């Protein structure tokens, strides 16, 4: 029997609060490449992914976008709404197809006003997300490409709920902030170590433990933050 996939933030809520959120949310498909929010624009909706994942990216001038974070069923898109700020700080774009529960910003604000439990849960998650963004900035600056790629593949694996997924070479380059040729070299190195199989964007995780050993400490640091606040 397949494991039921849920949104972990909603599951953390008391049943009454969770049922209210479910009652004013609607299930939607997460289509690959769909842009869900843009920086300097108000969030039209917040999303609680069930499957699939959303990439948080930022852009400076004419440079290619750089990915700063990933959101899967462990989190939500729109966590900064708990601060009373309507403007999205980063672009949210679907990089892994799946489904999500979508709630309008107006309804989420109402639930935040009426549910202290929801405020506490989203505030804790916002802390985890901020830690992820900071760790990504440090990782991009100080760690080698192979270790950074292993980290992002682990993060994607966590959110894809499958050993096999599709990531374009452009997306991998954006994740790492490097040229596509560097992605080819880094992915080839992991493949020669029999940690992954990679061909034309199709990635299969062959050794989870091997990837964890190949990754920098940033993956474990962010995972520990989440486990500490959402045991």
Domain(s) labelled CATH 2.60.120.10 in the chain stretch across: 8-139
Q: Helices 116-142 and 145-160: crossing angle, nearest 10°?
A: 150
Phi-psi region of 40 (alpha: psi -120 to 50; beta: other; left: phi over 0): left
Return the DSSP state at 40: T
Distance from C-alpha of 167 to C-alpha of 159, rounded to nearest angstrom: 13
Q: What is the pLDDT along the chain (231 residues), one digit of tens a residue?
A: 334 569 999 999 999 999 999 999 999 999 999 999 999 999 999 999 999 999 999 988 777 788 899 999 999 999 999 999 999 999 999 999 999 999 999 999 999 999 999 999 999 999 999 999 999 999 988 999 999 999 999 999 999 989 999 888 888 887 788 888 999 999 999 999 999 999 888 999 999 999 999 999 999 999 999 999 999
Q: Domain 144-215 adopts which CATH fold?
A: Arc Repressor Mutant, subunit A (1.10.10)
Instruction: Answer for the pair 99, 50: CB distance below 8 angstroms, yes or no.
Output: yes
pTM: 0.93
Domain(s) labelled CATH 1.10.10.10 in the chain stretch across: 144-215
| Nearest CA among 96, 213, 223, 198 for reference residue 150 | 213
Question: In this predicted structure, what is the pLDDT of residue 1?
Answer: 33
Instruction: Answer for the pair 201, 168: CB distance below 8 angstroms, yes or no.
Output: yes
Domain 8-139 annotated CATH 2.60.120.10: yes
């Amino acid at each position: 029997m397949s494991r039921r996939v849920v949104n972990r933030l909603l599951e953390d809520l008391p049943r009454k609060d969770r049922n209210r959120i479910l009652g004013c949310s609607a299930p939607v498909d997460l289509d690959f490449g769909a842009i869900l929010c843009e920086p300097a624009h108000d969030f039209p909706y917040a999303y609680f992914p069930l499957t699939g994942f959303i990439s948080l990216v930022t852009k400076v001038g004419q440079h290619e976008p750089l990915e700063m974070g990933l959101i899967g069923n462990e989190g939500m898109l729109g966590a900064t709404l708990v601060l009373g700020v309507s403007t999205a700080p980063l672009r949210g774009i679907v990089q892994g197809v799946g489904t999500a529960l979508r709630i309008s910003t107006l309804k989420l604000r109402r639930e935040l006003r009426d549910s202290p439990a929801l405020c506490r849960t989203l505030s804790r998650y916002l802390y985890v997300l901020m830690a992820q963004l900071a760790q990504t900035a440090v990782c991009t600056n100080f760690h080698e490409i192979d270790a950074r790629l292993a980290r992002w593949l682990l993060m994607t694996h966590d959110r894809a709920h499958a050993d096999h997924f599709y990531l374009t070479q452009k997306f991998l380059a954006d994740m790492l902030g490097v040229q596509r040729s560097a992605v080819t070299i880094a992915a080839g190195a992991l493949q020669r170590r029999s940690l992954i199989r990679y061909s034309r964007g199709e990635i299969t995780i062959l050794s989870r433990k091997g990837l964890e050993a190949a990754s920098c400490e940033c993956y474990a640091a962010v995972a520990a933050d989440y486990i500490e606040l959402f045991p």
